[in-house]
């Protein structure tokens, strides 16, 4: 068998919670409510609950310019975190799609690998217009 075995479901969530606490909570806060002038809410965000192809891009390369989530608007910049492995990004996104009462589908490491390959060579963060133009599988 090639590559590491996928983590069992509950280990993926636990790993995602760890990555979230270390890498996302500083800006989006532990409760996912975000903070004005620093970030946006992830709780009840259409970006978190919506198509994984957009959400994965946001974590890989970041997002900049006007954007709104859960009724809050921002015009800031989030740095990309493509240095995380496919497994770590899948885990943290699965965590955000399961925490705070969310019930959105999990994100798998192969999905992150696919999006990473599709966006290879990209340096810039995404704008909302670009994310909305992404062709969904
Ligand atoms: C340094 C602060 C910072 C960190 C760390 C950070 N973000 Fe963000 N995030 C932002 C900012 C700022 C925006 C809004 C950018 C804009 O205005 O275009 C944003 C936007 C987002 C969005 C889209 C809008 C929304 O609220 O749904 C998602 C999804 C997101 N971040 C997820 C994450 C995840 C997952 C992590 C951890 C892997 C993370 N962020 C880490 C600052 C951060």
Here the CATH number for the domain that contains residue 87 is 1.10.760.10
Ligand 1 atom, smallest distance to 41 CA? 26
Tell whether 43 is covered by a domain: yes
Number of domains forming the structure of the chain: 1
Nearest alpha-carbon partner for 108 in 86, 122, 90, 124: 90
Q: What integer pLDDT is reported at residue 105 of this predicted model? A: 96
Q: How many CA atoms lie within 13 A of 39 on its CB side?
A: 19
Neighbours of 96 (CB within 10 A): 25
Instruction: Give me the residue label for tokens 């704008």.
Output: 127
- pTM of this structure: 0.95
Ligand 1 atom, smallest distance to 93 CA? 35
**Ligand 1 site-directed mutation target among 21, 40, 48, most atoms within 8 Å of CB:** 40
Strands 62-69, 72-79: pairing kind: antiparallel
Tell whether 2 is covered by a domain: no
Chain segment 34-90, per-residue pLDDT in tens: 999 999 999 999 999 999 999 999 999 999 999 999 999 999 999 999 999 999 999
């Amino acid at each position: 068998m090639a590559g590491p075995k996928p983590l069992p479901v509950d280990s993926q969530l636990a790993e995602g919670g760890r990555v979230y606490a270390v890498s996302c909570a500083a800006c989006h806060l532990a409760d996912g409510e975000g903070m004005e002038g620093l970030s946006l809410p992830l709780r009840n965000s259409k970006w978190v609950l919506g198509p994984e192809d957009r959400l994965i891009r946001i974590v890989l390369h970041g997002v900049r310019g006007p954007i709104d989530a859960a009724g809050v608007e921002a015009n800031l910049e989030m740095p990309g975190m493509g240095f995380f492995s496919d497994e770590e990004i899948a885990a943290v996104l699965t965590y955000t799609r399961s925490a705070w009462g969310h019930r959105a589908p999990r994100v798998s490491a192969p999905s992150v690998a696919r999006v990473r390959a599709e966006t290879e060579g990209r340096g810039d963060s995404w704008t909302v217009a670009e994310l909305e133009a992404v062709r969904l599988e």
